Structure 1
Amino acid sequence: MSSPAAGAGEDSFEEFYAANFQPLMLQLYAYTADVGHAQDAVQEAFSRAWARWNTLARYERPAAWVRTVALNVARNRWRRLRAAQAHARFHQHPVVEGPSPDRVALARALATLPENQRRAIVLFHIADLGIAEIAEHEGVAAGTVKSWLHRGRLALAAELADLRTGEQHV
Protein backbone atom coordinates (compact mmCIF):
# COMPACT_ATOMS: atom_id res chain seq x y z
CA MET A 1 0.00 0.00 0.00
CA SER A 2 1.51 3.30 -0.96
CA SER A 3 0.96 6.49 0.96
CA PRO A 4 -1.07 9.29 -0.59
CA ALA A 5 1.75 11.58 0.45
CA ALA A 6 4.78 9.51 -0.40
CA GLY A 7 7.68 11.65 0.62
CA ALA A 8 5.54 14.06 2.65
CA GLY A 9 7.22 14.68 5.99
CA GLU A 10 10.02 12.41 7.10
CA ASP A 11 7.98 9.22 7.43
CA SER A 12 5.58 7.49 5.07
CA PHE A 13 2.15 6.64 6.41
CA GLU A 14 3.19 3.00 6.67
CA GLU A 15 6.15 3.90 8.86
CA PHE A 16 4.02 6.25 10.94
CA TYR A 17 1.41 3.52 11.42
CA ALA A 18 4.00 0.88 12.32
CA ALA A 19 5.65 3.16 14.85
CA ASN A 20 2.47 4.42 16.50
CA PHE A 21 -0.20 1.74 16.37
CA GLN A 22 0.98 -0.32 19.33
CA PRO A 23 1.60 2.60 21.74
CA LEU A 24 -1.75 4.20 20.84
CA MET A 25 -3.56 0.88 21.12
CA LEU A 26 -2.09 0.37 24.61
CA GLN A 27 -3.16 3.88 25.63
CA LEU A 28 -6.70 3.28 24.39
CA TYR A 29 -6.78 -0.12 26.07
CA ALA A 30 -5.90 1.57 29.36
CA TYR A 31 -8.71 4.06 28.71
CA THR A 32 -11.41 1.61 27.55
CA ALA A 33 -10.37 -1.55 29.45
CA ASP A 34 -11.39 -3.53 26.36
CA VAL A 35 -8.82 -4.67 23.79
CA GLY A 36 -11.39 -5.01 21.00
CA HIS A 37 -12.82 -1.54 21.53
CA ALA A 38 -9.35 -0.05 21.81
CA GLN A 39 -8.28 -1.68 18.53
CA ASP A 40 -11.45 -0.52 16.79
CA ALA A 41 -11.01 3.06 17.98
CA VAL A 42 -7.34 3.21 16.99
CA GLN A 43 -8.03 1.61 13.60
CA GLU A 44 -10.81 4.12 12.96
CA ALA A 45 -8.49 6.96 13.91
CA PHE A 46 -5.75 5.69 11.60
CA SER A 47 -8.30 5.33 8.79
CA ARG A 48 -9.21 8.97 9.21
CA ALA A 49 -5.51 9.89 9.38
CA TRP A 50 -4.83 8.03 6.13
CA ALA A 51 -7.43 10.17 4.36
CA ARG A 52 -5.69 13.35 5.65
CA TRP A 53 -2.10 12.19 5.54
CA ASN A 54 -0.93 14.99 3.21
CA THR A 55 -1.93 17.48 5.92
CA LEU A 56 -1.08 15.39 8.99
CA ALA A 57 2.42 14.57 7.75
CA ARG A 58 3.27 18.26 8.18
CA TYR A 59 2.00 18.39 11.79
CA GLU A 60 4.60 18.56 14.51
CA ARG A 61 2.88 15.65 16.32
CA PRO A 62 0.54 13.70 14.03
CA ALA A 63 0.28 10.90 16.61
CA ALA A 64 -1.39 13.37 18.99
CA TRP A 65 -4.07 13.98 16.35
CA VAL A 66 -4.61 10.23 15.94
CA ARG A 67 -4.80 9.78 19.73
CA THR A 68 -7.40 12.55 20.03
CA VAL A 69 -9.50 11.03 17.27
CA ALA A 70 -9.23 7.55 18.82
CA LEU A 71 -10.30 8.90 22.23
CA ASN A 72 -13.24 10.69 20.61
CA VAL A 73 -14.26 7.50 18.79
CA ALA A 74 -14.17 5.58 22.08
CA ARG A 75 -16.14 8.32 23.89
CA ASN A 76 -18.78 8.46 21.17
CA ARG A 77 -19.19 4.69 21.34
CA TRP A 78 -19.76 4.92 25.11
CA ARG A 79 -22.33 7.68 24.59
CA ARG A 80 -24.20 5.59 22.04
CA LEU A 81 -24.13 2.57 24.36
CA ARG A 82 -25.37 4.61 27.34
CA ALA A 83 -28.14 6.12 25.24
CA ALA A 84 -29.16 2.69 23.95
CA GLN A 85 -29.19 1.28 27.49
CA ALA A 86 -31.25 4.20 28.77
CA HIS A 87 -33.67 3.78 25.90
CA ALA A 88 -33.96 0.06 26.61
CA ARG A 89 -34.62 0.71 30.32
CA PHE A 90 -37.35 3.29 29.73
CA HIS A 91 -38.94 1.64 26.72
CA GLN A 92 -39.15 -1.96 27.78
CA HIS A 93 -41.80 -3.75 25.82
CA PRO A 94 -44.02 -6.09 27.76
CA VAL A 95 -43.68 -9.75 27.00
CA VAL A 96 -46.51 -10.72 24.71
CA GLU A 97 -47.82 -14.23 24.77
CA GLY A 98 -47.96 -16.13 21.52
CA PRO A 99 -51.21 -16.54 19.64
CA SER A 100 -53.81 -18.91 21.01
CA PRO A 101 -54.38 -22.25 19.26
CA ASP A 102 -57.60 -20.84 17.76
CA ARG A 103 -55.72 -17.91 16.23
CA VAL A 104 -53.05 -20.24 14.84
CA ALA A 105 -55.79 -22.38 13.29
CA LEU A 106 -57.47 -19.29 11.83
CA ALA A 107 -54.19 -18.03 10.36
CA ARG A 108 -53.54 -21.45 8.79
CA ALA A 109 -57.04 -21.60 7.39
CA LEU A 110 -56.81 -18.06 6.00
CA ALA A 111 -53.53 -18.97 4.30
CA THR A 112 -55.35 -21.60 2.22
CA LEU A 113 -57.75 -19.07 0.68
CA PRO A 114 -57.13 -17.30 -2.62
CA GLU A 115 -55.45 -13.97 -2.01
CA ASN A 116 -58.41 -11.76 -2.95
CA GLN A 117 -60.77 -13.69 -0.64
CA ARG A 118 -58.24 -13.66 2.20
CA ARG A 119 -57.68 -9.92 1.81
CA ALA A 120 -61.44 -9.23 1.74
CA ILE A 121 -62.02 -11.28 4.91
CA VAL A 122 -59.14 -9.62 6.74
CA LEU A 123 -60.20 -6.12 5.70
CA PHE A 124 -63.86 -6.73 6.57
CA HIS A 125 -63.62 -8.76 9.77
CA ILE A 126 -60.30 -7.66 11.25
CA ALA A 127 -59.72 -4.14 9.90
CA ASP A 128 -63.46 -3.33 10.21
CA LEU A 129 -63.72 -1.79 6.75
CA GLY A 130 -67.08 -1.67 5.01
CA ILE A 131 -67.88 -3.26 1.65
CA ALA A 132 -67.61 0.12 -0.15
CA GLU A 133 -64.24 0.87 1.47
CA ILE A 134 -62.85 -2.52 0.50
CA ALA A 135 -64.17 -2.11 -3.05
CA GLU A 136 -62.47 1.27 -3.32
CA HIS A 137 -59.26 -0.07 -1.77
CA GLU A 138 -59.19 -3.04 -4.17
CA GLY A 139 -60.44 -1.10 -7.21
CA VAL A 140 -63.38 -3.45 -7.80
CA ALA A 141 -67.17 -3.29 -7.62
CA ALA A 142 -68.95 -3.78 -4.30
CA GLY A 143 -70.59 -6.92 -5.70
CA THR A 144 -67.14 -8.42 -6.30
CA VAL A 145 -66.20 -7.81 -2.67
CA LYS A 146 -69.45 -9.45 -1.52
CA SER A 147 -68.68 -12.44 -3.73
CA TRP A 148 -65.13 -12.71 -2.35
CA LEU A 149 -66.46 -12.54 1.20
CA HIS A 150 -69.15 -15.16 0.56
CA ARG A 151 -66.77 -17.61 -1.13
CA GLY A 152 -64.03 -16.91 1.39
CA ARG A 153 -66.33 -17.53 4.36
CA LEU A 154 -67.53 -20.83 2.91
CA ALA A 155 -63.98 -22.01 2.22
CA LEU A 156 -62.79 -20.76 5.60
CA ALA A 157 -65.58 -22.60 7.44
CA ALA A 158 -64.78 -25.82 5.60
CA GLU A 159 -61.05 -25.45 6.27
CA LEU A 160 -61.60 -24.76 9.98
CA ALA A 161 -63.91 -27.77 10.25
CA ASP A 162 -61.23 -29.92 8.59
CA LEU A 163 -58.57 -28.59 10.97
CA ARG A 164 -60.73 -29.55 13.94
CA THR A 165 -61.21 -33.09 12.63
CA GLY A 166 -57.64 -33.43 11.35
CA GLU A 167 -58.56 -33.73 7.65
CA GLN A 168 -56.95 -31.77 4.86
CA HIS A 169 -58.19 -30.69 1.46
CA VAL A 170 -55.84 -31.32 -1.43
Structure 2
Amino acid sequence: MTQRPATPLPPPRKRRRLRERASLTRDQLAERMGVSRETVRAWETGRRTPHGREREAYAELLAGFAAETRPRRGRTSPRRKAAARTAPVPAAAADAGTAVRPEGQPSGSRPSARPAPAQAFDALYASCAPGLLRQAYLLTGRRELARESVERAFRLAWERWPEVARDRDPAGWVRAAAYDAALSPWHRFRRRYRHPEPPPGDAADRALLGALLALPPPYRRTLLLYDGVGLGLPETAAETEASTPAAANRLLHAREAMAARLPELADPAVLRERLAGPAVAERLRAAEPGAVRRGCERRARFWTRAAIAFTAALIGSTVLTLRTAPTHYEPPVPPGATVRGVPPRTAPGPLSEEELELRTKLRQEPAHGPERLAPRPG
Protein backbone atom coordinates (compact mmCIF):
# COMPACT_ATOMS: atom_id res chain seq x y z
CA MET A 1 0.00 0.00 0.00
CA THR A 2 1.50 3.32 -1.09
CA GLN A 3 1.28 6.26 1.24
CA ARG A 4 -0.09 9.51 -0.14
CA PRO A 5 2.40 12.41 0.08
CA ALA A 6 1.68 15.06 2.68
CA THR A 7 -0.07 18.26 1.62
CA PRO A 8 2.50 21.09 1.30
CA LEU A 9 2.23 23.98 3.74
CA PRO A 10 3.71 27.49 3.56
CA PRO A 11 6.53 28.42 5.98
CA PRO A 12 5.52 29.19 9.59
CA ARG A 13 6.07 32.95 9.25
CA LYS A 14 3.88 33.05 6.14
CA ARG A 15 1.12 31.11 7.93
CA ARG A 16 0.85 33.82 10.56
CA ARG A 17 1.03 36.54 7.91
CA LEU A 18 -1.84 35.01 5.95
CA ARG A 19 -3.97 34.73 9.10
CA GLU A 20 -3.31 38.37 10.00
CA ARG A 21 -4.13 39.51 6.45
CA ALA A 22 -7.45 37.69 6.78
CA SER A 23 -8.09 39.69 10.02
CA LEU A 24 -8.38 36.57 12.15
CA THR A 25 -7.05 36.05 15.65
CA ARG A 26 -5.58 32.80 16.85
CA ASP A 27 -8.69 32.09 18.86
CA GLN A 28 -10.90 32.53 15.80
CA LEU A 29 -8.67 30.31 13.67
CA ALA A 30 -8.54 27.69 16.42
CA GLU A 31 -12.35 27.70 16.59
CA ARG A 32 -12.63 27.22 12.83
CA MET A 33 -10.08 24.40 12.87
CA GLY A 34 -11.48 22.76 15.99
CA VAL A 35 -8.18 22.89 17.89
CA SER A 36 -6.78 24.89 20.80
CA ARG A 37 -5.16 28.31 20.59
CA GLU A 38 -1.79 26.85 21.68
CA THR A 39 -1.94 24.39 18.79
CA VAL A 40 -2.38 27.22 16.28
CA ARG A 41 0.47 29.08 17.92
CA ALA A 42 2.71 26.00 17.65
CA TRP A 43 1.83 25.69 13.95
CA GLU A 44 2.70 29.33 13.27
CA THR A 45 5.99 29.20 15.17
CA GLY A 46 7.12 25.93 13.57
CA ARG A 47 7.27 23.91 16.78
CA ARG A 48 4.60 21.52 15.55
CA THR A 49 3.24 20.49 12.16
CA PRO A 50 -0.32 19.26 11.54
CA HIS A 51 -0.83 15.82 10.08
CA GLY A 52 -3.59 13.94 8.32
CA ARG A 53 -6.93 15.64 7.89
CA GLU A 54 -5.89 18.59 10.04
CA ARG A 55 -3.02 19.28 7.65
CA GLU A 56 -5.28 19.14 4.61
CA ALA A 57 -7.88 21.42 6.20
CA TYR A 58 -5.21 23.86 7.38
CA ALA A 59 -3.54 23.98 3.94
CA GLU A 60 -6.91 24.53 2.23
CA LEU A 61 -7.74 27.35 4.66
CA LEU A 62 -4.40 29.08 4.12
CA ALA A 63 -4.78 28.77 0.37
CA GLY A 64 -8.16 30.48 0.66
CA PHE A 65 -6.59 33.28 2.70
CA ALA A 66 -3.89 33.74 0.05
CA ALA A 67 -6.49 33.88 -2.74
CA GLU A 68 -8.61 36.42 -0.87
CA THR A 69 -5.72 38.74 0.01
CA ARG A 70 -4.02 38.60 -3.42
CA PRO A 71 -4.02 42.15 -4.86
CA ARG A 72 -5.85 42.76 -8.11
CA ARG A 73 -4.10 43.93 -11.22
CA GLY A 74 -4.08 47.65 -11.75
CA ARG A 75 -4.83 48.49 -8.12
CA THR A 76 -1.84 49.14 -5.92
CA SER A 77 -1.92 51.12 -2.70
CA PRO A 78 0.48 54.05 -2.29
CA ARG A 79 2.20 52.28 0.61
CA ARG A 80 2.87 49.21 -1.50
CA LYS A 81 4.13 51.44 -4.31
CA ALA A 82 6.67 52.91 -1.90
CA ALA A 83 7.74 49.43 -0.87
CA ALA A 84 7.96 48.31 -4.48
CA ARG A 85 10.50 51.04 -5.25
CA THR A 86 13.09 49.10 -3.27
CA ALA A 87 12.19 45.69 -4.73
CA PRO A 88 14.29 44.93 -7.84
CA VAL A 89 12.08 42.76 -10.01
CA PRO A 90 14.82 41.90 -12.53
CA ALA A 91 17.22 40.83 -9.78
CA ALA A 92 14.63 38.63 -8.15
CA ALA A 93 13.54 37.04 -11.37
CA ALA A 94 17.00 36.54 -12.78
CA ASP A 95 18.05 33.39 -11.00
CA ALA A 96 14.55 32.25 -10.05
CA GLY A 97 13.75 31.18 -13.59
CA THR A 98 11.90 34.32 -14.82
CA ALA A 99 13.32 35.74 -18.00
CA VAL A 100 13.98 39.46 -18.26
CA ARG A 101 12.78 41.20 -21.40
CA PRO A 102 15.54 43.31 -22.97
CA GLU A 103 14.88 46.94 -23.75
CA GLY A 104 13.12 47.45 -27.05
CA GLN A 105 11.84 43.87 -27.30
CA PRO A 106 8.03 43.48 -27.54
CA SER A 107 6.26 41.87 -24.63
CA GLY A 108 4.78 39.08 -26.73
CA SER A 109 8.11 37.81 -28.04
CA ARG A 110 10.13 35.20 -26.25
CA PRO A 111 13.21 36.51 -24.41
CA SER A 112 16.52 35.37 -25.74
CA ALA A 113 18.67 35.16 -22.64
CA ARG A 114 18.60 35.47 -18.87
CA PRO A 115 21.06 37.48 -16.80
CA ALA A 116 23.72 35.60 -14.92
CA PRO A 117 23.58 35.38 -11.11
CA ALA A 118 26.35 37.99 -10.82
CA GLN A 119 24.39 40.43 -12.98
CA ALA A 120 21.21 39.81 -11.00
CA PHE A 121 23.06 40.37 -7.75
CA ASP A 122 24.58 43.59 -9.06
CA ALA A 123 21.12 44.83 -10.06
CA LEU A 124 19.74 44.05 -6.62
CA TYR A 125 22.70 45.75 -4.98
CA ALA A 126 22.44 48.86 -7.14
CA SER A 127 18.74 49.31 -6.41
CA CYS A 128 18.77 48.54 -2.68
CA ALA A 129 22.19 49.44 -1.27
CA PRO A 130 21.85 53.26 -1.23
CA GLY A 131 18.48 53.20 0.55
CA LEU A 132 19.60 50.51 2.97
CA LEU A 133 22.70 52.51 3.79
CA ARG A 134 20.63 55.53 4.79
CA GLN A 135 18.21 53.37 6.79
CA ALA A 136 21.05 51.65 8.63
CA TYR A 137 22.53 55.04 9.47
CA LEU A 138 19.20 56.15 10.93
CA LEU A 139 19.05 52.95 12.97
CA THR A 140 22.56 53.19 14.41
CA GLY A 141 23.78 56.76 14.04
CA ARG A 142 27.17 55.42 12.88
CA ARG A 143 28.43 55.71 9.32
CA GLU A 144 30.97 52.88 9.43
CA LEU A 145 28.57 50.52 11.19
CA ALA A 146 25.86 51.26 8.62
CA ARG A 147 28.26 50.52 5.75
CA GLU A 148 29.49 47.35 7.45
CA SER A 149 25.93 46.11 8.14
CA VAL A 150 24.80 46.63 4.54
CA GLU A 151 27.87 44.93 3.09
CA ARG A 152 27.49 42.04 5.52
CA ALA A 153 23.84 41.59 4.51
CA PHE A 154 24.76 41.51 0.81
CA ARG A 155 27.64 39.11 1.46
CA LEU A 156 25.19 36.80 3.19
CA ALA A 157 22.80 37.20 0.27
CA TRP A 158 25.53 36.24 -2.22
CA GLU A 159 26.42 33.20 -0.14
CA ARG A 160 22.76 32.10 -0.20
CA TRP A 161 21.96 33.48 -3.62
CA PRO A 162 19.76 30.59 -4.84
CA GLU A 163 17.56 31.04 -1.79
CA VAL A 164 17.46 34.84 -2.13
CA ALA A 165 16.80 34.79 -5.86
CA ARG A 166 13.79 32.50 -5.43
CA ASP A 167 12.39 34.55 -2.56
CA ARG A 168 9.25 36.56 -3.28
CA ASP A 169 10.86 39.71 -1.84
CA PRO A 170 14.66 39.69 -2.23
CA ALA A 171 14.86 43.32 -1.12
CA GLY A 172 13.02 42.46 2.09
CA TRP A 173 15.35 39.51 2.68
CA VAL A 174 18.43 41.73 2.42
CA ARG A 175 16.78 44.50 4.44
CA ALA A 176 15.99 42.15 7.32
CA ALA A 177 19.58 40.88 7.34
CA ALA A 178 20.97 44.44 7.30
CA TYR A 179 18.69 45.54 10.15
CA ASP A 180 19.66 42.53 12.25
CA ALA A 181 23.34 43.22 11.69
CA ALA A 182 22.96 46.93 12.47
CA LEU A 183 20.99 46.40 15.69
CA SER A 184 23.09 43.52 17.00
CA PRO A 185 23.77 44.01 20.74
CA TRP A 186 27.31 42.66 20.36
CA HIS A 187 28.52 45.92 18.84
CA ARG A 188 28.68 47.49 22.28
CA PHE A 189 31.62 45.23 23.15
CA ARG A 190 33.69 46.35 20.16
CA ARG A 191 36.28 48.94 20.96
CA ARG A 192 35.76 50.95 17.79
CA TYR A 193 32.07 51.48 18.57
CA ARG A 194 32.33 52.44 22.24
CA HIS A 195 32.64 56.17 21.53
CA PRO A 196 29.98 58.17 19.63
CA GLU A 197 30.66 59.49 16.15
CA PRO A 198 30.43 63.17 15.18
CA PRO A 199 26.79 64.17 14.55
CA PRO A 200 25.54 65.43 11.18
CA GLY A 201 26.32 68.99 10.23
CA ASP A 202 22.72 70.07 9.60
CA ALA A 203 20.70 71.01 12.72
CA ALA A 204 17.51 69.36 11.41
CA ASP A 205 19.38 66.15 10.69
CA ARG A 206 20.94 66.18 14.16
CA ALA A 207 17.53 66.63 15.76
CA LEU A 208 15.98 63.83 13.68
CA LEU A 209 18.84 61.43 14.35
CA GLY A 210 18.87 62.23 18.07
CA ALA A 211 15.13 61.62 18.35
CA LEU A 212 15.43 58.29 16.54
CA LEU A 213 18.36 57.09 18.63
CA ALA A 214 16.44 57.94 21.81
CA LEU A 215 13.85 55.27 20.90
CA PRO A 216 14.36 51.62 21.88
CA PRO A 217 15.66 49.50 18.97
CA PRO A 218 12.36 47.61 18.36
CA TYR A 219 10.39 50.89 18.28
CA ARG A 220 13.01 52.48 16.01
CA ARG A 221 12.89 49.56 13.59
CA THR A 222 9.09 49.48 13.51
CA LEU A 223 8.85 53.21 12.84
CA LEU A 224 11.43 53.07 10.07
CA LEU A 225 9.78 50.10 8.35
CA TYR A 226 6.27 51.54 8.49
CA ASP A 227 6.87 55.25 7.86
CA GLY A 228 10.26 55.10 6.17
CA VAL A 229 10.10 52.04 3.90
CA GLY A 230 6.31 52.06 3.52
CA LEU A 231 5.44 48.52 4.58
CA GLY A 232 2.00 47.61 5.83
CA LEU A 233 1.33 46.80 9.45
CA PRO A 234 1.18 42.99 8.97
CA GLU A 235 4.42 43.04 6.94
CA THR A 236 6.09 45.23 9.57
CA ALA A 237 4.95 42.88 12.32
CA ALA A 238 6.22 39.85 10.43
CA GLU A 239 9.62 41.42 9.73
CA THR A 240 10.07 42.53 13.35
CA GLU A 241 8.87 39.10 14.59
CA ALA A 242 6.01 40.57 16.61
CA SER A 243 2.24 40.34 16.51
CA THR A 244 0.22 42.95 14.67
CA PRO A 245 -1.18 44.55 17.89
CA ALA A 246 2.35 44.71 19.34
CA ALA A 247 3.68 46.35 16.17
CA ALA A 248 0.82 48.88 16.19
CA ASN A 249 1.51 49.67 19.84
CA ARG A 250 5.21 50.20 19.13
CA LEU A 251 4.38 52.45 16.20
CA LEU A 252 2.04 54.64 18.26
CA HIS A 253 4.54 55.01 21.10
CA ALA A 254 7.36 55.79 18.67
CA ARG A 255 5.30 58.50 16.97
CA GLU A 256 4.37 60.01 20.32
CA ALA A 257 8.01 60.07 21.41
CA MET A 258 9.09 61.67 18.12
CA ALA A 259 6.32 64.32 18.38
CA ALA A 260 7.33 65.09 21.97
CA ARG A 261 10.94 65.79 20.94
CA LEU A 262 10.18 67.34 17.54
CA PRO A 263 6.68 68.92 17.38
CA GLU A 264 6.98 69.56 13.65
CA LEU A 265 6.96 65.76 13.12
CA ALA A 266 3.64 65.26 14.87
CA ASP A 267 1.96 64.91 11.49
CA PRO A 268 2.55 61.32 10.22
CA ALA A 269 2.77 62.61 6.65
CA VAL A 270 5.63 64.95 7.53
CA LEU A 271 7.40 62.21 9.48
CA ARG A 272 6.96 59.81 6.58
CA GLU A 273 8.39 62.36 4.19
CA ARG A 274 11.45 62.93 6.36
CA LEU A 275 12.14 59.22 6.78
CA ALA A 276 11.33 58.09 3.22
CA GLY A 277 13.48 60.68 1.47
CA PRO A 278 17.21 61.24 1.83
CA ALA A 279 16.89 61.30 5.61
CA VAL A 280 20.20 62.98 6.31
CA ALA A 281 22.57 64.96 4.15
CA GLU A 282 25.44 62.60 4.83
CA ARG A 283 27.77 61.26 2.17
CA LEU A 284 27.26 57.55 2.60
CA ARG A 285 28.79 55.68 -0.30
CA ALA A 286 28.34 51.98 -0.68
CA ALA A 287 31.07 49.77 -2.05
CA GLU A 288 30.95 48.43 -5.59
CA PRO A 289 28.90 45.24 -6.03
CA GLY A 290 31.85 43.46 -7.61
CA ALA A 291 34.00 44.25 -4.58
CA VAL A 292 31.32 42.83 -2.29
CA ARG A 293 31.08 39.65 -4.33
CA ARG A 294 34.86 39.21 -4.46
CA GLY A 295 35.16 39.87 -0.73
CA CYS A 296 32.50 37.24 -0.05
CA GLU A 297 34.29 34.73 -2.27
CA ARG A 298 37.67 35.45 -0.64
CA ARG A 299 36.10 35.01 2.78
CA ALA A 300 34.55 31.71 1.73
CA ARG A 301 37.89 30.48 0.35
CA PHE A 302 39.68 31.53 3.53
CA TRP A 303 37.31 29.67 5.82
CA THR A 304 37.36 26.64 3.53
CA ARG A 305 41.15 26.50 3.64
CA ALA A 306 41.12 27.11 7.39
CA ALA A 307 38.70 24.20 7.85
CA ILE A 308 40.87 21.96 5.65
CA ALA A 309 44.03 22.96 7.56
CA PHE A 310 42.37 22.36 10.91
CA THR A 311 41.11 18.96 9.76
CA ALA A 312 44.59 18.02 8.49
CA ALA A 313 46.20 19.15 11.77
CA LEU A 314 43.66 17.13 13.72
CA ILE A 315 44.31 14.03 11.62
CA GLY A 316 48.09 14.49 11.93
CA SER A 317 47.95 14.86 15.72
CA THR A 318 45.73 11.79 15.94
CA VAL A 319 48.15 9.72 13.82
CA LEU A 320 51.14 10.94 15.87
CA THR A 321 49.38 10.05 19.10
CA LEU A 322 48.59 6.57 17.80
CA ARG A 323 52.20 6.02 16.71
CA THR A 324 53.83 7.23 19.95
CA ALA A 325 51.31 5.97 22.48
CA PRO A 326 52.24 2.76 24.42
CA THR A 327 50.71 -0.45 23.10
CA HIS A 328 50.44 -2.24 26.46
CA TYR A 329 49.90 -1.37 30.07
CA GLU A 330 52.96 -0.79 32.24
CA PRO A 331 52.16 -0.92 35.96
CA PRO A 332 53.93 1.61 38.19
CA VAL A 333 56.94 0.52 40.28
CA PRO A 334 55.74 -0.39 43.79
CA PRO A 335 57.53 1.02 46.88
CA GLY A 336 60.31 -1.03 48.53
CA ALA A 337 59.36 -3.84 50.95
CA THR A 338 61.17 -6.52 53.02
CA VAL A 339 61.58 -9.76 51.08
CA ARG A 340 62.62 -12.91 53.01
CA GLY A 341 64.31 -11.03 55.78
CA VAL A 342 66.35 -8.75 53.46
CA PRO A 343 65.65 -5.17 54.43
CA PRO A 344 64.98 -2.71 51.66
CA ARG A 345 67.73 -0.40 50.58
CA THR A 346 67.66 2.82 52.46
CA ALA A 347 69.65 5.98 52.50
CA PRO A 348 72.88 6.04 54.64
CA GLY A 349 72.24 7.14 58.20
CA PRO A 350 74.55 8.20 61.08
CA LEU A 351 77.62 5.94 61.79
CA SER A 352 77.84 3.91 64.95
CA GLU A 353 80.84 4.02 67.33
CA GLU A 354 82.42 0.91 65.82
CA GLU A 355 82.07 2.31 62.33
CA LEU A 356 83.63 5.59 63.45
CA GLU A 357 86.64 3.74 64.95
CA LEU A 358 87.06 1.70 61.79
CA ARG A 359 86.97 4.82 59.62
CA THR A 360 89.63 6.49 61.80
CA LYS A 361 91.89 3.43 61.67
CA LEU A 362 91.61 3.19 57.90
CA ARG A 363 92.56 6.81 57.51
CA GLN A 364 95.60 6.53 59.77
CA GLU A 365 97.07 3.25 58.57
CA PRO A 366 97.90 3.01 54.85
CA ALA A 367 96.83 -0.10 53.05
CA HIS A 368 99.43 -2.79 52.16
CA GLY A 369 100.61 -2.72 48.61
CA PRO A 370 102.68 -0.65 46.19
CA GLU A 371 102.95 2.99 47.03
CA ARG A 372 101.06 5.37 44.91
CA LEU A 373 103.07 7.33 42.42
CA ALA A 374 102.68 11.01 43.04
CA PRO A 375 104.67 13.82 41.44
CA ARG A 376 107.02 15.68 43.71
CA PRO A 377 108.04 19.21 43.24
CA GLY A 378 111.64 19.42 42.01
TM-score of the two chains, using structure 1 as the length reference? 0.41
Richer in helix (by share): 1
User: TM-score scaled to structure 2, two decimals?
Assistant: 0.19
